[in-house]
Homo-oligomer: A and B are copies of this chain.
């Protein structure tokens, strides 16, 4: 009994099932693949695969369907990422090259990924947590209120209004602000947000004592922005593709749509995934922690300038998915959008 051939059978089953969306039987397999053995042998192999939990039969006299474990094995050991066609590559680069600003880049990316994979695409906005400070500006708003503007290397701008308790209109306050402005920038520019908050922590002893309270408040705001997940955003596109794949979902696509609206959940999923190194990560069916997505697979990867990923993007689809092509598309889009972001 050849282990290799059994895996070849599994591969064939996955490929056929993904293509036809119908349980595949021993005979159909022989017609479409050159396995060099008879149907009976294939049946024996399938029996073993079923025992191992890699495939299952929806009912007695029907073909086999890959289980989550079967897909897992396929993705890990039996598939090679299928390269994109030249036309696809060209489409990617021309579309993304036309983007005007960060919003536009994200918008185009998510649509592109959705149409490329014909599935639901999810793109996270470049995350504050991993980007670094380009500039911090302090703007008196009149009265005692101060606007703090944070500009990151990823082109993102965040702002907060601070109640200082000091009348900022006075000359002394203006001078203090000016020195504070240069001190704060000196201590933060070029550092990651996490580092920058630390950098601010070291400052107070050096600056005008009157400004210490203010500085602490600014540092607090900064770390709040840093920690605050709520400010992170994801964009979703291609939900209508779920309809086409509707039969693949046991109950209905309702729970999936609900899950896709829970951006907090999506962020968490994208976040944990993007820590797993460079490669494309795949979460299959029940491997997925979130209930609404247990009958879906996620194909995700990180992206961003350089090797330090600042955000993640990916695709949500039925477990019955063409993993090789999807993974190729996700990887390619991530690469291109990273290049764009690096300017």
Contacts and interface: CB of A to CB of B under 8 A. Distances in A.
Given A142-B135, A149-B139, A261 B243 contact: no
Nearest to A258: B240
A78 interface: no
A120 B187 CA distance: 47
A62 interface: no
A230 B101 CA distance: 11
B137 A147 contact: yes
Interface class of chain A by DSSP: mixed
Interface in A137-166: 137, 139, 141-142, 147, 149, 151, 157, 159
Interface string A269-306: 00000000000000000000000000000000000000
B261 A252 contact: no
B230 A257 contact: no
Q: Which 4 A-B pairs have the closest CB atoms?
A: A240-B257, A243-B254, A137-B139, A240-B254
A253 interface: yes
Contacts of A103: 230-231
A255 B240 contact: yes
Contacts of A255: 240
Nearest to A255: B240
Nearest to A252: B243
Interface string A81-103: 00000000000000000000001
Contact of A139 (B104, B139, B237, B253): B139
A238 B260 CA distance: 10
A250 B326 CA distance: 31
A244 interface: yes
A238 B103 CA distance: 24
Contacts of A252: 243
A198 to B, nearest CB: 23
A164 to B, nearest CB: 16
Contacts of A257: 239-240, 242-243
5 contacts: A103-B231, A159-B159, A240-B253, A240-B257, A240-B261
Nearest to A246: B252
Nearest to A253: B243
Interface in A148-189: 149, 151, 157, 159
Nearest to A240: B257
Among the interface residues A159, A243, A244, A253, which one has the most CB atoms of the partner chain B within 10 A? A243
Given A139-B137, A147-B149, A149-B149, A237 B253 contact: no
Nearest to A260: B239
Nearest to A147: B137
A314 to B, nearest CB: 17
Contacts of A261: 237-240
